[in-house]
Chains A and B, each alone.
Chain A
Amino acid sequence: MSLLEIEKLSLNIGRIPILKDVDLTLDAGEVMGLVGESGSGKSMTAMAVMQLLPSVAKAMGRVRFDGIDILAAPEAAMCKLRGNEIGMVFQEPMTALNPVKTIGEQVAEGIRWHTGATRTDAEDHARKILDRVGLPEKSFPLSRYPHELSGGQRQRVVIAIACALRPKLLIADEPTTALDVVLQAQILDLLRDLVDENRMGLLLISHDLAVVTEMSDRVTVMRHGEVMETGETASTLSAQEHPYTRQLAQASMHVPARARIRGAEQPAHDLLKVEAVTRDYPGRRASLFRKPEPMRAVDDVSFSMKEGQSTALVGRSGCGKSTLARMILALDQPTGGAIHFMGEKLTSRDEAMLKPARRNMQVVFQDPYGSFNPRHKVERLVAEPLHTLEKQPQGAERRELVARALHEVGLKPADMDKYPHEFSGGQRQRLSIARAIITRPKLVVADEPVSALDVSIRAQILDLFADLNQRLGIAYLFITHDLSVARAITDDVMVMHDGRIVERGRTSDVLDNPQSEAARALVSASPDLRRAIAKKLQEQG
């Protein structure tokens, strides 16, 4: 008998089927990877095991955990299992902890609830488990509040809560998706160690095939609420017998075709020139009477970009990438240094003088939904940058321009009368690209433009970026912590660390042979599907 046995689990919300005949088994000490794109039912499967489904959801079939029929278990019995026998780690560490309770209270709470331990005993226990997950007492006393911790540290607290009572089963739902690659590697290491120490079963849910391949003994591939394929990790992913598995694997390794590698015919003048740029933020005030020490987010950064050049700016979260991008877009003023764009100085100029620069410089953000006003139609949203033109097109002319931009990103001109919610995530990102190119800019700054997208959509959007670069000669500054994106569509890469650019060069050179410590850390922590499959093949024979 396995630790967890899911048999023919089906789940409906209203009349909509969410899961159809899902089968899955997991043994003690085993890691099962559950992969699939968004909406495939991965999280719902996990929530069904926890019995934390929305009240309108109806589950059928059989879920047995350690011999207990979970779907039939009364709520009181489930409360005994949750947090005690089954622990769960969630995707978003920034919001997973209660902001008004200390981390000590939050870890000790579950311990007290299940064991009936006294406050002091529970706190001792909490202290031990926090030490274990890498939050030592010296820097992380129990009295810390979540807002005093970074994302990676908060995720460690969540893991401590989930693992405090040595559960038999740990469910981790996209535990590292919100973290940068270096933190991701650390958290995955921690999870793997905890599994080995306690012989836990781990159900690891992820959309990232490389992560799942690295971590799991077996994988289950889901799509549209159904299991497509399940089997040993190495054989499943090396053979890729199921067409959907193959499609996922290919999409995750997708590199857009880029005919022209730039070099010889480079124009002599610079499109963008950043000179010794520095940005300080006011630090936290320690005393009423002393001025706080400023925090330096960007430290003496200089670089230049040519027309049509595609450059990646990579680095861990908090390294200053986005601050630098905001200054290039003239949305923020540097504390020191200067930025020139098309020969014009951007820094310390007023908004009217910046207008010509703004029309040649556009931006694509990470969250395609958050960057659109939901009450406006596509025509208005995509036409927005047109106000930077000298003569603003109206009526038919404006619709003409919007239609052309939509066509260029692979959408239909008829889409301009729709609202953003009528589009899928990938289509929305196409909309934001259409908005960015409508003024025929020379430079597009893209801040993590594909990290919120599923792998197959992501491959399409990367193709679109590559295509627009070739056809329209747009230069890109790609800000990302994902090296596979950098590798796929950029010529050059700059590695940023603690506000400084620590390494730069041709993308393939830097990523294949990183010199600086920061670049080496990024490269070695980055999950790579090919490497992961090769390693698994060795392990599993």
Chain B
Amino acid sequence: MTAYITKRLLIALVTILVASVIVFSMLEIVPGDPARVMLGMNATPEALQALRDQMGLDQPLLVRYFDWIGQLLVFDFGKSYTYNIPVRDLIAERVVVSLPLAIMALALSTLIAIPVGIFSAERRGRMADTLSMGAAQIGVAVPNFWFALLLVYVFAVWLRLVPAGGFPGWGAGAWPALKALILPAIALALPQAAILSRVTRSAMLDVLGEDYIRTARAKGMPRNVVLWHHALRNALIPVLTILGLQFAFLLAGTIIIENVFYLPGLGRLVFQAITQRDLIVVEGVVMLLVAVVVLVNLLVDLSYAVVDPRLRTSR
């Protein structure tokens, strides 16, 4: 087990390191002078020089890389040139929206998808299976922004249960803040749930065909008991893999939904930074997301070992 954990940790560290080199090179491959790219063609020489100093562009490449890494280690991502405040503060402002949103969406999608997947695997080929998988097919196909607009129309405009958009901030109290996140979380969760329920169903069906399911049935346990006690845990590995990927997507890939609901999330931050060519912000946020994705994958890898004892004794 220790060997497995150590190996996974090392892989995670190396991945982050390689990613940092790539992200850092991003600034270098931009043709010409990064400061000019950021400031545009009409910048004054003084402004250019000031930005160069701030970014340390006059220093050798390696020195800059190690300076940058050193700063990252103390969570110093530099200073945004458009907002003129530290990137760390910008990120912190956005994370308090994006992280709860991602967690809510993931929890919701898991709560829907796993029971539905098990349910339809158990009733394979019957009406209930056909219906729920048909619904899942629609869930995958329908664009989530359209679905989001529908939700806004029904629950915000028509029923007036929740606000149609915007985020009051956590300072306004937990409930108003959560209320603002409910619709976006549902809009994000349903397509994810559709995918996850299909994965759960097919993983369950694979497992239900295994010999040990027959052994368990021959012990006299009814079908549904065997399903929960023997099949589910064996079917979890593909489900966990998809969950890990979905969390990474939900954290930063939600720009469309953030736009629909006017949420100041990480996705919008990156998008704005890219359009404004604020490379320092882009660099900082991308690095943070890389770290989160690697961390989530590490957790997924470790959870494999919890689920499947055969992985604990890997060489």
Contacts and interface: CB of A to CB of B under 8 A. Distances in A.
Chains A and B come from one and the same complex: yes
Interface in A129-187: 145, 147-148, 158, 161-162
Interface string A280-307: 0010110010001000000000000000
Contacts of B32: none
Interface string B126-152: 000000000000000000000000000
Contacts of A288: 2-3, 6
Contact of A161 (B210, B215, B229, B315): B215
Contact of A98 (B234, B307, B313, B315): B234
B212 A82 contact: no
Contacts of A99: 212, 234, 308-310
B220 interface: yes
A81 interface: yes
Nearest to B306: A100
B309 A145 contact: yes
Given A90-B211, A95-B211, A84 B220 contact: yes
A105 to B, nearest CB: 9
B96 to A, nearest CB: 38
Contacts of A282: 315
B218 interface: yes
Interface in A66-109: 75-76, 78-84, 87-88, 90, 92, 95-101, 106, 109
A236 to B, nearest CB: 29
Contact of B222 (A75, A95, A97, A109): A75
A284 B313 CA distance: 8
Contact of A50 (B218, B222, B230, B234): B218
Nearest to B313: A284
| Most chain A beta carbons < 10 A, residue from B3, B211, B222, B307 | B211
B161 interface: no
Given A96-B211, A99-B212, A99-B309, A52 B234 contact: no
Contacts of A82: 217-220
B220 A98 contact: no
B290 interface: no
Nearest to B230: A98
A113 interface: yes
B215 A90 contact: yes
Contacts, number: 83
B211 A92 contact: yes
A274 to B, nearest CB: 29
B295 interface: no
A63 B63 CA distance: 84
Contacts of A92: 211
B216 interface: yes
A95 B220 contact: no
A108 to B, nearest CB: 11
B310 A147 contact: yes
B309 A109 contact: no
A420 interface: no
B157 interface: no
B308 A100 contact: yes
A284 B310 CA distance: 13
B216 A98 contact: yes
A530 interface: no
A95 B214 CA distance: 10
Given A114-B220, A145-B310, A100 B215 contact: no
A95 B212 contact: yes
Contacts of A161: 215, 219
A75 B221 CA distance: 10
Contact of A80 (B6, B211, B220, B315): B220
B233 interface: yes
Contacts of B310: 99, 145, 147
A110 interface: yes
A76 B221 CA distance: 9
A158 B221 contact: no
Interface in B295-311: 307-310
A110 B219 contact: yes
A110 B309 contact: no
Q: Is the interface of B mostly helix, strand, loop or mixed?
A: helix
A113 B315 CA distance: 37
A88 B211 CA distance: 12
A147 B311 CA distance: 10
Given A79-B222, A147-B310, A285-B3, A97 B217 contact: no
Contacts of B315: 282, 284-285, 292
A158 B307 CA distance: 22
B221 A109 contact: yes
Given A96-B215, A158-B215, A79 B230 contact: no
B212 A96 contact: yes
Contacts of B307: 100
Interface in B273-315: 307-310, 313, 315
Given A284-B315, A288-B2, A83 B220 contact: yes
A341 B222 CA distance: 59
B128 to A, nearest CB: 15
B219 A109 contact: yes
A285 B214 CA distance: 34
Nearest to A80: B220
Nearest to A107: B219
Given A285-B315, A288-B3, A113 B309 contact: no
A82 to B, nearest CB: 4
A92 B215 CA distance: 11
A426 to B, nearest CB: 25
B234 A100 contact: yes
A501 to B, nearest CB: 29
A199 B220 CA distance: 21
Nearest to A292: B315
Contact of A100 (B217, B309, B313): B309
Contact of B220 (A81, A285, A292): A81
| Most chain A beta carbons < 10 A, residue from B219, B234, B308 | B219
A113 B219 contact: yes
B160 to A, nearest CB: 49
B149 to A, nearest CB: 43
| Most chain B beta carbons < 10 A, residue from A98, A110, A114 | A98
| Most chain A beta carbons < 10 A, residue from B220, B230, B234, B310 | B220
Interface in B242-297: none
Contacts of B219: 82-83, 109-110, 113, 161
Interface in A323-355: none
B77 to A, nearest CB: 35
A50 B220 CA distance: 10
Contacts of A80: 220
Contacts of A106: 215
A98 B6 CA distance: 27
Nearest to B315: A285
**6 closest A-B pairs by CB:** A83-B220, A110-B219, A83-B219, A82-B220, A95-B211, A98-B212
Given A52-B218, A162-B218, 5 more contacts: A84-B220, A90-B214, A92-B211, A99-B212, A113-B220
14 contacts: A76-B222, A82-B219, A82-B220, A87-B218, A90-B214, A96-B215, A98-B212, A98-B215, A98-B216, A100-B309, A106-B215, A113-B221, A162-B218, A282-B315
